Amino acid sequence: MNPAYTPLFQPITLGGVAVKNRVAMAPMTNFSSHEDGTVTEAEVDYYRRRSKGVGMVITACAYVRPNGKGFPGEFSVHDDAMIPSLRQLAHTIQDEGAKAILQIFHGGRSCPPALVPNADVVSASAVAGQEGAVVPRPLEDHEVRDIVIAFGEATRRAIEAGYDGVEIHGANGYLIQQFFSPHSNQRTDEWGGSLEKRMSFPLAVVHEVKRVVRQFATKPFIVGYRFSPEEATVPGITMDDTLALVGVLADEHLDYLHVSLQDFRSKPRSKETVQSRLELIVQQAADRVPVIGVGAIRTPDDAIEALQATGAAVVALGREIIMDPDWIEKVEQARESEIATTLAKEDRERLHVPEPLWQRIVSTPGWFPGI
């Protein structure tokens, strides 16, 4: 192995869980679960193929309530009946040597009406995500509290299914972000208004998840939180809003924060600075909580830059781990020149990509290079 890449292979302990290296598989929706929310064999095969090299696998998001299903073919953690299916996936990941992290999620206003009971799309307030989109029904106070409990119940199921941790999905415009955003949250009760009140729902979820871990976990269990740093809308989440949230989350003794970015080098749109968003977030976390960086990490040089230039503790590979499941092994064996950075239309079976995900890839020009 090239000695320059040694930092990628240093172990790290998150929440008392020993992770073998500094590279994670990023959470990516694969559209391939059964209609009832159970995991398919194609998904199990897909994750098996990608779990040998990385230190941990963060799964695609699993919805915590039936009215939180955001995608066709999304797997579920909303009911105890899901536990055997989820257990199979966790064991598959772990058997290949990676830690298994279940991402838990509610889509809020981003849920297609056809996927939720009675087409009842909900959010913090009656604000559509974009022009022409469905206007969601504002959640009542007791419903907000019920969803907080649902995140806790999802965590209990993840523990019973044998996962090494959960990642709370507070990014990409879904329900938790909808409560944090001044665009989608126009409430005047305890769940909205000021910046501090807009943090109430995210923090309530964090507190409930951690409470459940204390109650049910019999061994160390990771709790992470993913977020998007800015929104393009005005009003919307600004970089300063996010830095305030990071400061609060860092005080919650979470095991990691995971920044959702298209490019780890990207600069803030709402703040004048020469530093990248990831650098600012790592500085705000101030050694209180490890930060995972993601976005446009294709080569081992990119990964090293993301670690060393920003101070991130772990890097996550998304599209790259789909294009080359052997990315880690090739770096470790000094074969980085062999890393695949494009897809060809005949690659699906070789890469063990489920057909529904593959159809999304080939029908979305520019999403993956080469297709």
Q: What is the pLDDT along the chain (371 residues), one digit of tens a residue?
A: 999 999 999 999 999 999 999 999 999 999 999 999 999 999 999 999 999 999 999 999 999 999 999 999 999 999 999 999 999 999 999 999 999 999 999 999 999 999 999 999 999 999 999 888 999 999 999 999 999 999 999 999 999 999 999 999 999 999 999 999 999 999 999 999 999 999 999 999 999 999 999 999 999 999 999 999 999 999 999 999 999 999 999 999 999 999 999 999 999 998 899 999 999 999 999 889 999 999 999 999 999 999 999 999 999 999 999 999 999 999 999 999 999 999 998 999 999 999 999 999 999 998 999 88
Estimate to the nearest angstrom the gap between the alpha carbon of 324 and the chain centroid. 20
**Is 350 within a domain?**
yes
**Is 367 within a domain?**
no
What is the pLDDT, as a whole number, of residue 39? Answer: 98
Q: Which of 47, 63, 174, 225 is catalytic?
A: 174
Q: Is the peptide bond before 356 cis (omega within 30 degrees of 0)?
A: no
**Is 154 within a domain?**
yes
**Is 368 within a domain?**
no
Give the integer Cα–Cα distance in Å for 362 and 169.
27
What is the pLDDT, as a whole number, of residue 283? Answer: 97
Domain that holds residue 21: 3-362
**Is 371 within a domain?**
no
- For residue 157, the domain's CATH number is 3.20.20.70
Task: Judge contact between 258 and 316, C-beta under 8 A.
Answer: yes
What is the pLDDT, as a whole number, of residue 131? Answer: 87
What is the pLDDT, as a whole number, of residue 371? Answer: 81
Q: Which of 143, 144, 166, 155 is nearest to 15 (CA)?
A: 166
Q: Name, in order, each residue with C-beta under 8 angstroms of 250's C-beta and a sequence gap of 6 or more.
A: 257, 284, 285, 286, 288, 289
Characterise 88 by phi-psi region: left (phi > 0), alpha (psi -120 to 50), beta (else). alpha
What is the pLDDT, as a whole number, of residue 364? Answer: 93
Structural domains in the chain (count)? 1
**Is 370 within a domain?**
no
**Is 89 within a domain?**
yes
What is the pLDDT, as a whole number, of residue 81? Answer: 98
**Is 369 within a domain?**
no
What is the pLDDT, as a whole number, of residue 370? Answer: 87
Catalytic (active site) residue 174: yes
> What is the identity of the amino acid at 293?
G
Taken in order 276, 277, 279, 283, the sign of the CA dihedral is: positive
